[in-house]
A and B are shown apart, each in its own frame.
Chain A
Amino acid sequence: MTSKSGTAVAEQLPALGKTSYWTRLRKDLHKNHQVYLMIIPVILYYLIFCYKPMYGALIAFQDYNPLNANILDNKWVGFANFLEFFQGRYFWRLIKNTLTISLASTIVGFPIPIIFALLINEIKNKKFTKIVQTMSYMPHFISIVIVCSMIISFTNANGFLNTLFTHLGYSGKPMLSNPDLFVPIYVISGIWQGLGWDSILYIAALSGIDQELYEAASIDGASRWQQMLHITLPGIAPTIVTMFILRMGGLMNVGYEKVILLYSPITYSSADVISSYVYRMGIERMNYSFSTAVGLFNSAINIFLLFITNRFSKKISDTSLF
């Protein structure tokens, strides 16, 4: 992005001679005034709905009072809200649950779309693969409310999954009121939702591998397995690394929607994550300053993780996001 615009500016420079930036800007505002008018709604959108809430996050350091029209009139309390969270009884539980759900989803859920892509790539019947792919994307488009209501109904006392597991020795209790089962249910349903969709990029990368490499390798006597290790995997490695960075960057970022729809006070002990806690404290209990502090703490960690993983991957593989 920067390099491209850099050349664009450089192209203009000779024509404009030594004119300063401000002169050029003034001329440009005049010449392109229509274009600048068109961007105003977009700028306003970002100011009002993205930057203003960033400013509003200052209440994390305050004792927020909804009656104050100007948030600067609130009482400043420094890091008191953060300390309250760190010392509170739920801090470690939230960290543990967030990490558990996220790591379990990554360890189980990350390789599966890759394996799926590799297996579907072996099948040369295009009609067949098209049907399989189309069907496998479907769960991704179903609203999360519907997905969760299906999970609830299938794992209920007389749901078919519950019945199935009862035959295998499960007690038959509604599965979602068992704290031990929340993470498996969350992770497995997540795989069901994302299996096909998450494989799209890998399938695309696989189809981009030069077929001549395979022909050359098989003439040299490489087995299918060797071809896969030495041609296929290196071919999709950059995609895998990029997806992995994204995953790691979002390690402490477990979305609240599915958790809120599936959990209940009985399963808070394993299901409550930072984002669902922010929702409960903030929107349900109207503890605005405290929940903003918790959310801010979470985003700070997220940004930190994103930079670390990006840096790390730059070092090991020359692949990076920014």
Chain B
Amino acid sequence: MHIKESRSRKAFMVFDYVLMVAITLICIYPFLYVVFASFSDPAELMKFNGALLSPRGFTLAGYQEVFKKKDIISGYSNTILITVTGTVINIVMTALGAYFLSRRDVVLKVPVMIFIMITMYISGGMIPSYLNIRSLGLYQSYWALILPGAVSTMNLIIMRTAFQSIPESLEEAAILDGASHMTILFRIILPLSKATVAVLVLYYALGHWNDWFGPMIYLQGTPEKYPLQLILRNMLIDNQNINSASGGTDQFLLFEVIKYVVIVISTVPMLIFYPFVQKYFEKGVMIGGVKG
């Protein structure tokens, strides 16, 4: 009996390991495919229909072509500008809100909390928000991408929880030394909540980096302001050829490879950071999950 159980156990463990390896491969294979395709010879790639296990032929033509494109370069710098500015504003605003809500003694804490929590369940919806941005004169401006999401209520609550765990004695000492509340927040509380702040920086930054819908509806008609994701969307989903001026079969074939190249170069920064930061993301889910 005992031996039988351990044998079936062994079979199960083998199955389990095999399945886990399979899942891992399924999760990363699409990226490998894209990388292989981006180095492939356009004509050979066109002929080949199966699952790539290595580049078909080898060429850097796609990469050379992409790095000549002004709009991809400007898309990159626009994205960086939006991500950095947006995230700084996110963190400052979230910290201000969390500081207020984490204080024991303010009389208006509960009304403010309710005022904020309501927005988690009720919102005006897509169209009223869009018209709001237009009526504020933010249309075709980067502020339309940065201000409307300046505070995420979920993240605000996560930061408040972190602030609440800091001993009050630290603060009282600072007040005795004559520190203002701004100093306490940005010099004492925020540095002491480094781990949570790191999680929130990542959440906010990823949101800005991956945003394409906001830019699509608010930056219409100003291609020079387009961030990377919107340029990618126009190229990859709408199939707008970035150098449509010169047609021809070669150009058409090359464009197929260029698509893969842009996927690679837009995902690489993410993938480089990823191994270092993923544990913070995981931690964020826990903090959020415990609260939610």
Contacts and interface: CB of A to CB of B under 8 A. Distances in A.
Interface of A: 1-2, 5, 8, 12, 21, 24-25, 28-29, 32, 34-36, 38-39, 41-43, 45-46, 48-57, 59, 116, 119-120, 122-123, 128-129, 131-132, 134-139, 141-146, 148-150, 152-154, 158-160, 163-164, 192, 195-197, 200-201, 204, 223-224, 239, 242, 246, 256-257, 260-261, 275, 278-279, 282-283, 288, 291-292, 295-296, 298-299, 303, 306, 321
A137 to B, nearest CB: 6
Interface stretch (B23-31, B63-71, B191-199, B241-249): B23-31
B275 to A, nearest CB: 7
Contacts of B96: 38-39, 41-42
Contacts of A242: 292
Contacts, number: 252
A2 B213 contact: no
A123 B132 contact: no
Given A141-B281, A146-B263, A292-B125, 7 more contacts: A39-B112, A56-B129, A134-B278, A137-B278, A144-B210, A195-B23, A204-B289
Contacts of B260: 153
Interface string B96-125: 110110011111111011011001011111
A170 B90 CA distance: 48
Contacts of B23: 116, 132, 136, 195
A45 B52 CA distance: 49
Most buried by A among B119, B127, B232: B127
Contacts of A282: 126-127, 130
Interface residues of B, number: 89
A56 B126 CA distance: 11
Contact of B131 (A48, A160, A288): A288
B9 interface: yes
Contacts of A142: 267, 270
Contacts of A159: 49
B286 A204 contact: yes
Contact of B108 (A36, A119, A134): A36
B11 interface: no
A278 B127 contact: yes
A270 to B, nearest CB: 19
Contacts of A288: 127, 131
Nearest to A31: B105
Contacts of A153: 236, 259-260
30 contacts: A1-B113, A28-B108, A38-B185, A39-B100, A43-B115, A46-B115, A49-B148, A53-B125, A53-B129, A54-B122, A54-B128, A56-B128, A59-B128, A119-B16, A119-B20, A122-B12, A131-B24, A141-B281, A145-B237, A146-B267, A152-B237, A192-B26, A192-B30, A200-B289, A256-B126, A275-B126, A278-B126, A283-B130, A283-B217, A295-B126
Contacts of B108: 25, 28, 36
A268 B26 CA distance: 29
Given A134-B278, A152-B236, A200-B285, A36 B124 contact: no
B72 to A, nearest CB: 14
B interface, by DSSP: helix, strand, loop or mixed? Answer: helix
Interface in B158-194: 180-182, 185
Contact of B125 (A5, A150, A200, A299): A299
Contacts of B112: 39, 43
B263 A149 contact: yes
B181 A34 contact: yes
B278 A201 contact: no
A291 B285 contact: no
B50 A163 contact: yes
B51 A164 contact: yes
B93 interface: yes
Contacts of A152: 236-237
A160 B50 contact: yes
A128 B13 CA distance: 13
Nearest to A289: B127
B266 interface: yes
B233 interface: yes
Contact of B33 (A36, A123, A160, A260): A160
Contacts of A195: 23, 27
Nearest to A27: B107
Given A35-B106, A49-B147, A42 B97 contact: yes
Contacts of A149: 232-233, 236-237, 259, 263
A236 B259 CA distance: 43
Nearest to B5: A223
A209 to B, nearest CB: 16
A143 B27 contact: no
A260 B147 CA distance: 24
A201 B285 contact: yes
A8 B50 contact: no
B149 to A, nearest CB: 8
Contacts of A57: 124-125, 128
Contact of A56 (B17, B30, B93, B131): B131
